Each structure stands twice: as structure tokens, then as C-alpha cells.
Amino acid sequence: MADHLPPGPPAAAPEGWPPLTPVVAPPPGRLGRVAVALAALAVLAYLVAGVLFLVPVETPGVQECGAPGAYLLDGRLDRIPDEEGRILDADDQVVTLDPDVAAEARSTPCQERVARRAVPAAALVLAATGVGALAFALELLVVRPHQRRLVRAGAAHPAPPAWGDPPAGSGG
């Protein structure tokens, strides 16, 4: 049965091998903390960009543009009132708008309102990608190799005994 423990104590290290000791990774250091902070900044920028892409936009009294991301992906068209303030509503009925509402809808249609949100969100996505790639490269090419060198150096030079431990070979 696979649930049984192996018989007897575990095998000792072969003759000439150093004793087996647990390897404890050293703390990441300053560059490791910088890499983590950059990665967290990238995640935060992605979250802010997601909010900007998902919060709905509307042209009051004329059209609910919806989320900027959906507006751009669907390729929706603007509903712009003519000079007399007439527009087709959702049921394809002609509706006449107040002159000030019609003027506002003509001056800032959905396309412009969506662009005000989508352009900063896209810039955040690009910046987050660059910052995240930098954090990944820093971690992969600098921090991890440095930690491996520290672990190897620690294995080659074991730490001195702690206070109160008997010296090696004292039989204590």
C-alpha cells in the first residue's frame, strides 16, 4: 500500500558528501523589494485601466454609450441630433430634443466621451505592461541569480555554531 512509511531511518548522505541541511533562501534584498513594488504598481495600473474601460459613459438625454471597452469592441455608432434637435430613439421613433441638450450632444458625442476614457486606459495598459516586464526581468535576471549565489555561498561555508551549542567534536 502506498500509505506506509518506508522501513527504517532515511539513508545517510554518502561518504564524502556534506551533511544535508535545509536550504533557507535569503531575503530578497533591495532589488527584490523594488521588483515586487514594480509588479504591484503594474497590477494597480491594470486595475485602474479596467475600471476606466468598464465604467459606462452616456450622452445625457440622447444615448447611453455604455462601457468604453464595449463601445470600441462593438463598433457602435453615435446618435447625433440634426440642426433642429431631432434624433431617432431606441425604438426608431423621431424625438425632438431641447436645443441645449441637442447642442451638447452635437459638441461631445459618444465617440469623444469614450475616447476621454479609453485613451488614458490604453496608456495605463501599455505602461503597466512595460513596468511589469521590467519587474519580471529584474527578478529573473538579477534578484534570483543573486539569491542562488548567496545560497551556494552559505552551503559552501556553513554558519558558525550558535551560542550554547557544544563545539564540533567535543562529545557534548
Angle, CA 104 vertex, CA 103 and CA 107 arms, to 5° = 85
In 17-147, beta strands by DSSP E? 57-59, 63-66, 86-88, 94-96
Structure confidence at residue 140 as a pLDDT band (50, 70, 90): very high
Structure confidence at residue 84 as a pLDDT band (50, 70, 90): confident
The yes-or-no verdict on residue 109 having pLDDT over 90 is: no
Q: What is the pLDDT of residue 48?
A: 96
- C-alpha dist (Å) from residue 108 to 52, 58, 62, 91: 18, 10, 11, 23
Look-up of cell digits 431641447: 98
The pLDDT tens digits for 31-76 are 889 999 999 999 999 999 999 999 988 776 667 778 888 888 887 7
d(CA 123, CA 135): 18
Q: What is the pLDDT of residue 166?
A: 58
Structure confidence at residue 137 as a pLDDT band (50, 70, 90): very high
Q: Are 36 and 131 in contact (CB under 8 A)?
A: no
Domain boundaries in the chain?
Answer: 29-155
Burial 15-44 (b: 16+ CB within 10 A, else e): eeeeeeeeeeeeebeeebebbeebbebbee
Q: Are 126 and 18 in contact (CB under 8 A)?
A: no
d(CA 150, CA 10): 28
Q: Are 72 and 119 in contact (CB under 8 A)?
A: no
